[in-house]
């Protein structure tokens, strides 16, 4: 079990340049999309994070050949040799469900384990299932596995009852090879969904309305290979921006896409930080006085749920009371109890966390329960006086590439301990 140990300082000021990696949540569906063709799909700006390795293990089991290099990945699925995504893999990474749509569309059958519970709350996949059924799939559930079958998917008019990133991605992929037109309404508009759709278009898909709530897809008989770059990770970028504001530091983020971070940048400015935006670069200069504010998570372009835990840490240093309302996941406050161990003053009431600041935190041993919770604990550890040890740090490796190395180069006293 690896741990991260941080020597925190109340007066730590991070300084320097950090290169933002490719997006975890964009690369996972892009990898799944390679199941839609027998030709080679080449992806650039691929982050070397654990979820990518988990996805590649899954893909190998399904018949994919791949070659992963520094920042580049080529994938080729000449034939789908197995139609099954096992419980072991789906439990390790819920995004495994993204193979369902493309596998079904290409080979007429997909068997995927039901994901079950998750650290951030109930995460059903009913919207994926309903959509695929509307495309003509026959879906059965037995022994914890979903089997979806269809000799030929047929286009349909589908309205998502609720915005779903993975559901939109699964359905767009399936619709690309369905016969006729599919209209998807109330689609998630996250940049990661748009990045996937641009890849699909390069592969020969006919999709209108990229980035809009309604997309129209004209099914084609087959898709081909493509070369495609993964967008920068807006959540990694946001995490470093919070690190800059929190430590009243001065950071330059490079290879970032500022237009994906508008809401996050607005909130950082409200907190008092100076944020300068240039093409592919963002500079943040933290302010001595951090202002409190209320934040409500919502689907893109709203404030991302994946940045909620990190902003909570910033709010512990703000003067006054801040209220964070989580509307996407019903149990995404697992970091609160750990932040309390560091001395934060936070109460949770239903979907709200009420943060009283400013508090001076002191280092302690804490345990990460999910990816973004881990990020928040590392941020808190930077400014909590003394040693903070973050246990079960493998969660952080799922989505951040060498976070401790990047922070160390900015002046943090942080190291990874194994065992
Ligand atoms: N939902 C349903 N039924 C469904 C699907 C979703 O009720 O069939 C609900 C979920 O329970 C949740 C809401 O709809 O309350 C939104 O879930 P969504 O499907 O959008 O989430 P996801 O696709 O499972 C992706 C990201 C998450 C991110 C969410 C929200 C990937 C691989 N994961 O998950 O990322 O929090 O969108 O933006 O893209 C993370 O990176 O730490 C992470 C959890």
Whole-number pLDDT of residue 368: 84
Distance 362 CA to ligand 1 centre (A): 33
Q: What is the pLDDT of residue 379?
A: 98
How many Cα atoms occupy the beta-carbon half-sphere of 130 within 13 Å?
14
| More confident site: 138 or 419 | 138
Quick: pLDDT tens for 249-307.
999 999 999 999 999 999 999 999 999 999 999 999 999 999 999 999 999 999 999 99
- In the chain, % of residues over pLDDT 90: 91
Query: Is residue 205 pLDDT above 90, yes or no?
Result: yes
- The pLDDT, as a whole number, for residue 117 is 60
- Residue 376, pLDDT above cutoff 80: yes
- Residue ID of nearest Cα to ligand 1 atom 37: 165
- Torsion angles phi and psi, residue 261, rounded to 5: -120, 20
- For residue 256, the cross-strand partners are none
pTM of the predicted model as reported, rounded to 2 decimal places: 0.97
Banded pLDDT at 116 (limits 50, 70, 90): low
Q: How many angstroms is it from 125 CA to the middle of ligand 1?
A: 9
For residue 83, what pLDDT band results from cuts at 50, 70 and 90? confident
Residue of the nearest CA to atom 2 in ligand 1? 124
* Rounded distance between C-alpha atoms, residue 2 and residue 216, angstroms: 46
For the segment 2-12, what is each residue's pLDDT rounded down to a tens digit? Answer: 899 999 999 99
pLDDT of residue 369: 86
Ligand 1 environment, Cβ below 6 A: 25, 28, 94-95, 123-128, 162, 164-167, 188, 192, 305-306, 328-329, 371-372, 399
pLDDT at 115: 81
**Alpha carbon of 299 to ligand 1 centroid (Å):** 10
Report the nearest atom of ligand 1 relative to the CA of 130. 8
Catalytic residues: 118
> What pLDDT, on a 0 to 100 scale, did the predictor assign at position 410?
98
> Is the pLDDT score of 417 beyond 70?
yes
Q: What is the pLDDT, as a whole number, of residue 114?
A: 87
CA angle 281, 244, 365 (to 5 degrees): 135
What confidence category does residue 418 fall into, taking pLDDT thresholds of 50, 70 and 90? Answer: confident
Nearest to 243 by CA among 253, 258, 229: 253
Please, which residues bridge with residue 322 across strands?
355
Which protein residue's CA is at the shortest distance from atom 14 of ligand 1? 164
Q: In which band, very low, low, confident or very high, does the pLDDT at 168 lie, cut at 50, 70 and 90?
A: very high
Question: Is residue 120's pLDDT more than 60?
Answer: no
Query: In testing the pocket of ligand 1, which one of 31, 51, 164 has its CB within 8 Å of the most ligand atoms?
Result: 164
Q: How far is the CA of 103 from the centre of ligand 1 (A)?
A: 20
Q: Per the structure block, which two tokens stand in for 29?
A: 């569906």
- Cα gap 155→27, rounded to integer Å: 26
Task: Please give the number of the atom of ligand 1 that sits closest to the Cα of 329.
Answer: 15
Nearest CA to ligand 1 atom 5: 125
Q: How many angstroms does the Cα of residue 170 sit away from the middle of ligand 1?
A: 12
Atom of ligand 1 nearest to the CA of 28: 32
Computed over every residue of the chain, the mean pLDDT equals 96
C-alpha dihedral, 76 to 81 to 85 to 86, nearest 10°: -130
65 vs 84: CA distance, rounded Å: 16
């Amino acid at each position: 079990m690896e741990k991260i140990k941080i020597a925190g300082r109340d007066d730590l000021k991070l300084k320097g340049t950090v290169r933002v990696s490719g997006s975890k949540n964009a690369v996972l569906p892009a990898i799944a999309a390679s199941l839609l063709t027998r030709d080679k799909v080449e992806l650039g700006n691929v982050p070397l994070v654990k979820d990518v390795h988990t996805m590649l293990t899954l893909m190998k089991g399904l018949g994919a050949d791949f070659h992963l290099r520094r920042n580049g990945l080529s994938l080729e699925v000449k034939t789908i040799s197995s139609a099954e995504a096992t419980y072991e893999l789906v439990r390790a990474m819920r995004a495994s469900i993204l193979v369902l749509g493309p596998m079904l569309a290409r080979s007429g059958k997909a068997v995927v384990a039901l994901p079950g519970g998750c650290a951030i709350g109930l995460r059903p996949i009913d919207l994926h299932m309903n959509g695929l059924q509307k495309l003509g799939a026959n879906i059965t559930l037995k022994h914890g596995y979903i089997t979806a079958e269809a000799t030929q998917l047929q286009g349909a008019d589908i309205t998502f009852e609720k915005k779903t990133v993975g559901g939109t991605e699964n359905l767009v992929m399936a619709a690309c090879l369905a016969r006729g037109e599919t209209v998807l309404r109330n689609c998630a508009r996250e940049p990661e969904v748009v990045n996937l759709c641009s890849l699909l278009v390069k592969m020969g898909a006919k999709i209108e309305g990229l980035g809009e709530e309604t997309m129209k897809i004209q099914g084609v008989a087959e898709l081909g290979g493509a070369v495609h770059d993964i967008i920068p990770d807006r959540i990694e970028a946001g995490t470093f921006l919070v690190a800059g504001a929190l430590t009243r530091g001065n950071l330059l983020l490079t290879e970032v896409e500022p237009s994906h971070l508008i809401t996050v940048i607005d909130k950082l400015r409200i907190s008092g930080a100076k944020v300068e935006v240039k093409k592919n670069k963002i500079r943040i200069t933290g302010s001595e006085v951090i202002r409190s504010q209320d934040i409500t998570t919502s689907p893109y372009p709203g404030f991302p749920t994946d940045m909620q835990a990190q902003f909570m840490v910033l709010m512990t240093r703000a003067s006054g009371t801040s209220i964070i309302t989580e509307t996407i996941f019903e149990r995404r406050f697992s970091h609160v109890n750990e932040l309390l161990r560091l001395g934060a003053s936070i109460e949770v009431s239903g979907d709200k966390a009420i943060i009283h600041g400013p508090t001076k935190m002191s280092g302690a041993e804490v345990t990460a329960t999910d990816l973004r919770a881990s990020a928040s604990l590392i941020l808190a550890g930077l400014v909590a006086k003394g040693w903070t040890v973050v246990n079960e740090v493998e969660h952080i490796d799922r989505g951040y590439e060498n976070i401790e190395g990047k922070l160390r180069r900015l002046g943090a006293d942080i190291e990874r301990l194994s065992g």
